[in-house]
Structure 1
Amino acid sequence: MALITFSSTMHKDKTVYAVAGSHKQTILQLAKDNHIPIDFSCGDGECGTCLVKVSSIDKAKSNQYGHMGGPLTDREVKVLKEMGKITQAQIDQMRVDDIPSTEWRLACQMVVRDEDILVEYPSR
């Protein structure tokens, strides 16, 4: 099991257990299930509303970007590039290394892995 800590400047931090290895449970779904108010619109990786910053709490399992979540989806790459959160060089490196090349993720696209992570999200 992984521990996911959700952090926001306007809400108290909340840590929840996540079933790692399900290959289906996204950060957004985990937030919804635990009443954590991450903003989202489409829920399909096309709008960028659910942008979060992810870092590893377990440094032994982390890569240079701080987390081992699954590779970015094609939709996520497109949106993050449009938002200026990822460069073409990072995208190219991710394709070679098969690991995320940015701390920025879309909560509706990032699937939880067996790693303790911190998810920082904006609040209104």
Structure 2
Amino acid sequence: MANVTFSSKHTLPKDVTVYAVAGDRGTILSLAEKNKIPIPFECRDGECGSCLIEVVTLTGKTMGSALTEKEKSMLKSLGKITTAEIDNAVTNDVMPKYRLACQTIVRDQDILVKFAGDEPGGSE
């Protein structure tokens, strides 16, 4: 089990923590939807950047879920990730600071997910 805490100054009156079942293979966006957390999204496919989130590991070893090619491309175009950060994520299984909620699978670790909720591609 992992605790996922969602935080948004613009759309949540307080942080909301939910449990994510390890191995579920669900994305952060699907977990948010199941728990009525209003992360903005438009395409669900990693092509628009509207579900940009900032991820902070709270406990345990930092583990990344694989960056999809669409996610790499979108994060680079938004200026949220460098080639070196992509290489580090791939080589060392490290979660980069910024991700797309529609592409990121929850791993067995507690995380804080920050999102703006006020404009596509924005995060706090």
TM-score w.r.t. the length of structure 2 is 0.87
Per-residue Cα deviation, 1:20-67 (whole angstroms, up to 9, x for no partner): 112x20000000000000000000111100000001110x323xxxxx
Matches within 5 A, 1:41-60: 41-58=42-59, 60=60
Structure-2 separation of matches of 1:52 and 1:32: 14
Shift of the 61–93 alpha-carbon distance from structure 1 to 2, 3 Å rule, reads closer
1:7 aligns with 2:7: yes
- Runs of 4+ that moved beyond 4 A: none
1:31 and 1:122 map into 2 onto residues whose CA distance is: 14
TM value normalised by structure 1: 0.87
- Counterpart CA distance in 1 for 2:108 and 2:88 is 23
Gaps of 5+ in 1: 63-67
Q: Root-mean-square deviation (CA), in Å? A: 1.3
Asked if the contact 1:31–1:37 (Cα under 8 Å) also holds between the matched residues in 2, the reply is: yes
Read off the aligned partner of 1:3 and give its amino acid letter: N
Aligned residue in 1 for 2:69: 74
Change (3 A) 1:57 1:92: closer
1: distance between equivalents of 2:64 and 2:89? Answer: 12
Inter-partner Cα distance in structure 2 for 1:25 and 1:49:
18
Q: CA deviation at 1:97?
A: 2.4
